[in-house]
Amino acid sequence: MSTRERILDAAAEILRTRGVAHATTKEIAQASEVSEPTLYKYFGDKERLLLAVLEERLPGLSRISIRPGEGGVEANLAELAHAVLDFYQRSIPMLAALLSDPQRMAAHRVAMSRHGGGPERAVTPFAAYLKAEQTLGRVAPDADPDAAASLLVGACFQEAFLRYYAEGPGAEAAPRTFAEALARAVVRPLL
């Protein structure tokens, strides 16, 4: 296993159990059996490491291959919603403590912006997909893809948060039927 992979594996485990606000790069370096300078050589800073963990260890939407014009719009959105539900359910424990520390949240927001990350990125692929389907005539011309995408992603986040709140980080994954119901509720008015 490469040094980078060892760092990512250690970081994913530590961030999952301790959260980004409490985990340290020193702790991650020790767990991956590298020096802190080596960790920084690969990732630059803690936020870049967090982004790599989110993108590579909790792939979410990157694992989905949906093309506009193929399959049904509702089924495609259900697939996207299921992936984002899974992503949120696994990432909320990592990020939850940031909400209680306004200074840390502000610093995190600046760092994520610098690296092209942040929660607003979740809506973009949904909206882009719906706009492409709209161009193909499979979504009504008067539909608002941005609003529909925000509603769907927001509902996914809410469900993941509620599961975390009720059951903690080991909460059972949201069932696929829930993602399908969300997609159906959002899509039917768009068609």
- Does 66 share its domain with 53? no
Domain count, the chain: 2
Full-prediction pTM beyond 0.85? no
pLDDT tens for 109-162 read: 887 788 777 777 788 888 999 999 999 999 999 999 999 999 999 999 999 999
- Does 47 share its domain with 120? no
pLDDT tens for 157-184 read: 999 999 999 998 888 889 999 999 999 9
- Does 67 share its domain with 127? yes
- Does 38 share its domain with 115? no
- Does 176 share its domain with 91? yes
CA–CA separation, 101 and 73 (whole Å)? 40
pLDDT tens for 48-96 read: 898 888 888 876 666 777 899 999 999 999 999 999 898 888 888 888 7
Query: Which range marks the domain in which residue 73 is found?
Result: 62-190
CA–CA separation, 128 and 21 (whole Å)? 32
Task: Check residue 145 and give its pLDDT.
Answer: 96
Q: Is 48 left (phi over 0), alpha (psi -120 to 50) or beta?
A: alpha
Of the pLDDT bands very low, low, confident and very high (cuts 50, 70, 90), residue 39 is: very high
Place of tokens 């509720």: 185
Of the pLDDT bands very low, low, confident and very high (cuts 50, 70, 90), residue 97 is: confident
- Does 32 share its domain with 92? no
φ, ψ for residue 50, nearest 5 deg: -60, -45
- Does 92 share its domain with 158? yes
Place of tokens 């080991």: 170
CA–CA separation, 156 and 77 (whole Å)? 12
User: Cα 118 from chain centroid?
Assistant: 9
